[in-house]
A = this chain, B = another copy of it.
């Protein structure tokens, strides 16, 4: 059996911020937890239904014209479940990184080819850094103004710090490869 899924908790967590529909949850994840957690529709909708079945969330169907909109609201049992999980020790996922895997075996190709991948990665990181930096700035302001966003801030800080390091690593690696690879 595989490692216990954390999807359920990611979804109760989202509902702990405010009541939401599946569609909104998807958007919300794409906009704020995307760099460390994201889920597809194939997970969100069934999980939300199960949450309601297990009384961890309460379903309220709103009508938008003739179209329904299913808004889920966390229950006290749901909050309890979330807290219990938050207190549990963090489990580690074996991370996979295809760039590093390719580099590890790059003796088999020319240095210009392997450097191309690294340069591309640096570009990608720079784009992400721009994005995260803006969010970071706004969150720092919010936190200083007394809003309770420290926890959002620390997750974004992880993003900015790590991509900055990756950009550094790209530079160092290119130098090393240029100097020492055949």
Contacts and interface: CB of A to CB of B under 8 A. Distances in A.
Nearest to A106: B151
A177 B154 contact: yes
A5 to B, nearest CB: 11
Contacts of A82: 105, 108
Interface stretch (A47-55, A63-71, A112-120): A112-120
Given A108-B82, A113-B86, A36 B97 contact: yes
Copies in the complex: 2
A135 interface: no
B154 A173 contact: yes
A181 B121 contact: no
B168 A154 contact: no
A102 interface: yes
A161 B151 contact: no
Q: Kindly state the interface size class of chain A when it binds its partner.
A: 35 or more
Interface string A164-177: 11101100110011
A83 B109 CA distance: 7
A155 interface: yes
Nearest to A182: B148
Contact of A104 (B101, B152, B180): B152
Which of A10, A104, A150, A151 counts the most B-chain CB atoms under 10 A from its CB? A151
Contacts of A168: 161
Interface of A: 6, 9-10, 13, 16-17, 32-38, 79, 82-83, 85-87, 89-109, 113-114, 117, 120-121, 124, 143, 148, 150-155, 157-158, 161-162, 164-166, 168-169, 172-173, 176-177, 180-182
